Amino acid sequence: MPLTLTTNPETQPATGRVPLAVKLGYTAFMAVLVPVYWANYGPTNFLYFCDVALFLTLVAVWTESALAASMAAVGIVLPQLIWVADFAAGLFGVKLLGMTAYMFDERRSLFLRGLSLFHGWLPFLLLFLVKRLGYEKKAFPAWWALAWTLVLFCYAFMPGPTPNAGAEPVNINYVHGMSDTEPQSWMSPLAWLATLMAGLPALLYFPSHLALKRCFTRPT
Protein backbone atom coordinates (compact mmCIF):
# COMPACT_ATOMS: atom_id res chain seq x y z
CA MET A 1 0.00 0.00 0.00
CA PRO A 2 1.61 3.33 -1.00
CA LEU A 3 2.46 5.78 1.70
CA THR A 4 0.52 9.04 1.69
CA LEU A 5 2.33 12.05 2.99
CA THR A 6 0.05 14.49 4.76
CA THR A 7 0.92 18.02 5.69
CA ASN A 8 0.00 19.51 9.01
CA PRO A 9 -0.42 23.25 8.45
CA GLU A 10 0.45 23.92 12.08
CA THR A 11 3.97 22.58 11.52
CA GLN A 12 4.70 24.59 8.39
CA PRO A 13 7.04 27.58 8.52
CA ALA A 14 5.34 30.93 8.91
CA THR A 15 6.14 32.25 5.44
CA GLY A 16 3.98 33.99 2.92
CA ARG A 17 1.73 35.55 5.51
CA VAL A 18 2.33 39.12 4.31
CA PRO A 19 0.92 39.80 0.83
CA LEU A 20 3.39 40.89 -1.80
CA ALA A 21 1.34 44.01 -2.48
CA VAL A 22 1.85 45.08 1.14
CA LYS A 23 5.59 44.44 0.92
CA LEU A 24 5.97 46.42 -2.30
CA GLY A 25 3.60 49.23 -1.34
CA TYR A 26 5.23 49.81 2.02
CA THR A 27 8.72 49.63 0.54
CA ALA A 28 7.77 52.21 -2.08
CA PHE A 29 6.50 54.51 0.66
CA MET A 30 9.74 54.16 2.60
CA ALA A 31 11.77 54.74 -0.57
CA VAL A 32 10.10 58.14 -0.79
CA LEU A 33 9.95 59.05 2.89
CA VAL A 34 13.54 58.29 3.90
CA PRO A 35 15.36 60.56 1.40
CA VAL A 36 12.76 63.32 1.75
CA TYR A 37 12.97 63.29 5.55
CA TRP A 38 16.76 63.10 5.42
CA ALA A 39 16.97 66.10 3.10
CA ASN A 40 14.49 68.21 5.08
CA TYR A 41 15.02 67.15 8.69
CA GLY A 42 18.42 65.45 8.75
CA PRO A 43 19.36 61.98 10.00
CA THR A 44 18.56 62.65 13.66
CA ASN A 45 14.86 62.68 12.77
CA PHE A 46 15.07 58.90 12.57
CA LEU A 47 15.65 58.74 16.33
CA TYR A 48 11.96 59.40 16.99
CA PHE A 49 10.09 56.34 18.24
CA CYS A 50 7.68 56.51 15.31
CA ASP A 51 10.51 56.58 12.77
CA VAL A 52 12.27 53.66 14.43
CA ALA A 53 8.96 51.81 14.17
CA LEU A 54 8.89 52.54 10.43
CA PHE A 55 12.15 50.63 9.97
CA LEU A 56 11.02 47.79 12.22
CA THR A 57 7.91 47.54 10.08
CA LEU A 58 10.02 47.37 6.94
CA VAL A 59 11.99 44.50 8.46
CA ALA A 60 8.74 42.81 9.48
CA VAL A 61 7.05 42.94 6.08
CA TRP A 62 10.03 41.35 4.29
CA THR A 63 11.31 38.89 6.89
CA GLU A 64 7.85 38.20 8.34
CA SER A 65 9.40 38.60 11.77
CA ALA A 66 6.78 38.47 14.50
CA LEU A 67 9.25 40.10 16.88
CA ALA A 68 9.88 43.12 14.66
CA ALA A 69 6.17 43.68 14.00
CA SER A 70 5.28 43.17 17.65
CA MET A 71 7.96 45.57 18.88
CA ALA A 72 6.70 48.30 16.59
CA ALA A 73 3.11 47.64 17.65
CA VAL A 74 3.92 47.73 21.37
CA GLY A 75 5.86 50.92 20.90
CA ILE A 76 3.66 53.10 18.76
CA VAL A 77 0.05 51.95 18.44
CA LEU A 78 -1.17 53.85 21.50
CA PRO A 79 1.14 56.88 21.03
CA GLN A 80 0.01 57.20 17.42
CA LEU A 81 -3.61 57.31 18.55
CA ILE A 82 -2.62 60.23 20.77
CA TRP A 83 -0.94 61.83 17.74
CA VAL A 84 -4.13 61.42 15.72
CA ALA A 85 -6.22 62.97 18.50
CA ASP A 86 -3.83 65.91 18.77
CA PHE A 87 -3.86 66.40 15.00
CA ALA A 88 -7.65 66.17 14.79
CA ALA A 89 -7.97 68.77 17.55
CA GLY A 90 -5.56 71.03 15.67
CA LEU A 91 -7.75 70.85 12.57
CA PHE A 92 -10.46 72.53 14.63
CA GLY A 93 -8.11 75.08 16.15
CA VAL A 94 -7.88 73.33 19.51
CA LYS A 95 -4.48 72.73 21.10
CA LEU A 96 -4.16 69.56 23.14
CA LEU A 97 -0.52 68.60 23.58
CA GLY A 98 0.99 70.51 20.67
CA MET A 99 2.86 67.45 19.42
CA THR A 100 1.46 67.92 15.89
CA ALA A 101 2.04 71.67 15.66
CA TYR A 102 4.51 71.07 12.81
CA MET A 103 1.66 69.72 10.70
CA PHE A 104 0.23 73.23 10.56
CA ASP A 105 3.53 74.98 9.85
CA GLU A 106 3.07 76.53 6.41
CA ARG A 107 6.83 76.90 6.02
CA ARG A 108 6.86 73.16 5.37
CA SER A 109 5.47 71.89 2.09
CA LEU A 110 2.16 70.06 1.98
CA PHE A 111 3.97 67.06 0.54
CA LEU A 112 6.39 66.94 3.46
CA ARG A 113 3.60 67.28 5.99
CA GLY A 114 1.52 64.77 4.07
CA LEU A 115 4.19 62.12 4.50
CA SER A 116 3.72 62.45 8.25
CA LEU A 117 0.17 61.21 7.91
CA PHE A 118 1.69 57.74 8.25
CA HIS A 119 1.06 58.27 11.97
CA GLY A 120 -2.59 57.68 11.20
CA TRP A 121 -2.37 54.48 9.15
CA LEU A 122 0.76 52.78 10.50
CA PRO A 123 -1.01 51.43 13.64
CA PHE A 124 -3.54 49.65 11.43
CA LEU A 125 -0.80 48.15 9.28
CA LEU A 126 0.98 46.93 12.40
CA LEU A 127 -2.19 45.35 13.76
CA PHE A 128 -2.64 43.63 10.40
CA LEU A 129 0.93 42.33 10.54
CA VAL A 130 0.60 41.12 14.12
CA LYS A 131 -2.63 39.37 13.20
CA ARG A 132 -0.88 37.62 10.32
CA LEU A 133 2.39 36.85 12.08
CA GLY A 134 1.23 36.51 15.67
CA TYR A 135 2.27 38.46 18.72
CA GLU A 136 5.73 37.80 20.15
CA LYS A 137 5.68 38.44 23.89
CA LYS A 138 9.41 39.23 23.91
CA ALA A 139 8.50 42.43 22.08
CA PHE A 140 7.58 44.22 25.30
CA PRO A 141 10.98 43.99 27.04
CA ALA A 142 12.79 44.43 23.71
CA TRP A 143 10.97 47.66 22.85
CA TRP A 144 11.20 48.87 26.45
CA ALA A 145 14.99 48.51 26.35
CA LEU A 146 15.18 50.18 22.95
CA ALA A 147 12.96 53.08 24.04
CA TRP A 148 14.99 53.74 27.18
CA THR A 149 18.18 53.70 25.11
CA LEU A 150 16.71 56.25 22.70
CA VAL A 151 15.44 58.45 25.53
CA LEU A 152 18.79 58.54 27.30
CA PHE A 153 20.69 59.15 24.07
CA CYS A 154 18.39 61.99 23.01
CA TYR A 155 18.52 63.57 26.46
CA ALA A 156 22.31 63.44 26.57
CA PHE A 157 23.26 64.27 22.99
CA MET A 158 20.39 65.80 21.01
CA PRO A 159 19.40 69.50 21.12
CA GLY A 160 16.67 70.56 23.51
CA PRO A 161 13.75 72.91 22.83
CA THR A 162 14.55 76.24 21.22
CA PRO A 163 12.30 79.03 19.91
CA ASN A 164 14.03 79.13 16.51
CA ALA A 165 14.90 75.54 15.76
CA GLY A 166 13.87 75.56 12.11
CA ALA A 167 13.43 72.13 10.56
CA GLU A 168 16.16 70.48 12.62
CA PRO A 169 14.63 68.06 15.13
CA VAL A 170 14.81 69.24 18.74
CA ASN A 171 13.50 67.72 21.95
CA ILE A 172 13.39 64.33 20.25
CA ASN A 173 10.97 61.94 21.96
CA TYR A 174 9.88 64.74 24.32
CA VAL A 175 12.79 64.24 26.69
CA HIS A 176 12.55 67.89 27.81
CA GLY A 177 8.77 68.27 27.84
CA MET A 178 5.98 68.36 25.29
CA SER A 179 7.01 71.62 23.59
CA ASP A 180 9.73 72.05 20.98
CA THR A 181 10.07 75.76 21.74
CA GLU A 182 10.68 75.68 25.48
CA PRO A 183 11.42 73.02 28.12
CA GLN A 184 8.79 72.10 30.67
CA SER A 185 9.09 74.08 33.90
CA TRP A 186 6.90 72.34 36.44
CA MET A 187 9.57 69.87 37.62
CA SER A 188 13.33 69.50 37.38
CA PRO A 189 14.76 68.20 34.09
CA LEU A 190 15.89 64.92 35.69
CA ALA A 191 12.52 64.47 37.37
CA TRP A 192 10.84 64.86 33.99
CA LEU A 193 13.25 62.35 32.48
CA ALA A 194 12.55 59.85 35.24
CA THR A 195 8.80 60.40 34.89
CA LEU A 196 9.02 59.86 31.15
CA MET A 197 11.06 56.68 31.53
CA ALA A 198 8.63 55.29 34.09
CA GLY A 199 5.49 56.46 32.34
CA LEU A 200 6.22 55.11 28.87
CA PRO A 201 6.29 51.43 29.83
CA ALA A 202 3.66 51.73 32.56
CA LEU A 203 1.06 53.75 30.67
CA LEU A 204 1.72 52.89 27.02
CA TYR A 205 3.87 49.83 26.39
CA PHE A 206 2.61 47.42 29.04
CA PRO A 207 -1.10 48.03 28.31
CA SER A 208 -0.33 47.55 24.61
CA HIS A 209 1.52 44.35 25.41
CA LEU A 210 -1.41 42.96 27.40
CA ALA A 211 -3.94 43.84 24.71
CA LEU A 212 -1.85 42.43 21.87
CA LYS A 213 -1.07 39.24 23.78
CA ARG A 214 -4.75 38.76 24.52
CA CYS A 215 -5.97 39.45 20.98
CA PHE A 216 -3.31 37.78 18.84
CA THR A 217 -1.81 34.35 19.27
CA ARG A 218 1.37 33.50 17.45
CA PRO A 219 1.02 30.87 14.69
CA THR A 220 3.08 27.72 15.20
Query: Could you give the percent of the chain with pLDDT greater than 70?
Result: 91
Nearest in space to 115 (alpha carbons), one of 191, 28, 12: 28
Between 4 and 186, the higher pLDDT residue: 186
DSSP H helix total and E strand total for the chain:
8, 0
181, pLDDT greater than 90: no
Range 13-36 burial, b when 16+ CB lie within 10 A, else e: eeeeebeeeeeeebeebbeebbee
Kindly report the pTM of this predicted structure: 0.87
Between 57 and 9, the higher pLDDT residue: 57
What average pLDDT does the structure give for the chain? Answer: 89
Q: pLDDT tens-digit profile of 21-65?
A: 999 999 999 999 999 999 999 999 999 999 999 999 999 999 999
Q: Where are the domains of the chain?
A: 18-215
Helix (H) or strand (E) holding 81: helix 66-91
Residues 6+ apart with CB under 8 A from 136: 66, 67, 69, 70, 71, 218
Worst-scoring range by mean pLDDT, 14-23, 125-134, 209-218? Answer: 14-23
Confidence tier at 9 by pLDDT (50, 70, 90): very low
Round the CA-based radius of gyration of the chain to a whole number and report it: 20
